[in-house]
Structures are given as structure tokens and as C-alpha cells.
Amino acid sequence: MPREPGAVAEMLYEPPEDFRLFGDGRDRAFVNAMGAVIARERQTRRAELDERLAENVEPQLRKIAALELEVAALRGAVDVLRGAAAPPPARFPKVKSYTEGGVYYEGDVVSFGGATYQARCDTAQAPGSRDCRARGAAARADGSES
């Protein structure tokens, strides 16, 4: 027999001795009424608890998830250091040919006069001038070290 939400089932047994006040059918009605009140109060308190959990626990769970990702990344780095995993492939910047009048940004690498230079800051000056370029350790075309 389907019940409506929040409805309390009729008790099919006599209330325990501690709950007998009248000694007749009113005791059963009283226990059923109290059960309904308790069920409603429990439902209200659960809703309040769910709301508080959503406000307080959910942000913490998001932080924990982010930290777990960071720990996983660190574990990968430790595995590489221990030799348990292969290191990731090296990434080198692309070397561009120097073009007069061109603008090069910090980190750009250019070849000029048989050597390589990397910009330490944004610049439009030629490599080797007193600007922000650092000379690389590449071999010159004649085989000498730069």
C-alpha cells in the first residue's frame, strides 16, 4: 500500500510500557503522532545539514582535489629523479634568423653572425650591441666556440 511522503506507518504492536500513558488506544495514537513530529523534525534538520555541508565542505573538497593533482605531479617528478620514470622530452626554443628592424621579445632566440643570442628583455636592437641579449654557447660556422 503506497504512502504519501512523510506519512508514518501505523504501529502494529502495542507501545512499550514506558510510552503507555492512558492504557488504551490513545497510547498508540500518541506514539504515532510523536513519530510523525520526529520524522518531520529529522527531515528539516537533514535539509539544514545538507545546506551547511554544501556551503562549508564543498569548497574544501575542491581544494583537496587540487592538492591531489599537485601531489600527483610532484610524485611524477620524484619518480624521474629516482630513475623510476623517464624524464619528459626536452623543449628547446625555436631559433629565428635575425632580421634588421624586427622586434624580439624576452626569451626569443636568434642567430646572427654565426652565433646564437637569447633576448633577456624585449628589444629591437641587433644582437651583440649593448642591449638585453645574452650570447649563447653555440659553435660558430668556423668551428670556434662563441
Residue 57 scores a pLDDT above 60: yes
Architecture of domain 95-135: Ribbon (2.10)
pLDDT in tens, 68-82: 999 988 888 888 888
Domain boundaries, the chain: 17-82, 95-135
Mean pLDDT value across the chain: 80
pTM: 0.35
Band the pLDDT of 85: cuts 50, 70, 90. confident
What is the predicted pLDDT for the residue at 137? 46
Looking at 12-16, 33-37, 60-64, 87-91, which range is the least confident one?
12-16
pLDDT in tens, 118-128: 888 888 888 87
DSSP string, the chain: ----TTPPPPP-SPPPGGG-SSSSHHHHHHHHHHHHHHHHHHHHHHHHHHHHHHHHHHHHHHHHHHHHHHHHHHHHHHHHHHTSSPPPPP--PPEEEP-TT--B-TT-EEEETTEEEEESS-B-SPTTSSSSEEE--PBPTTS-B-
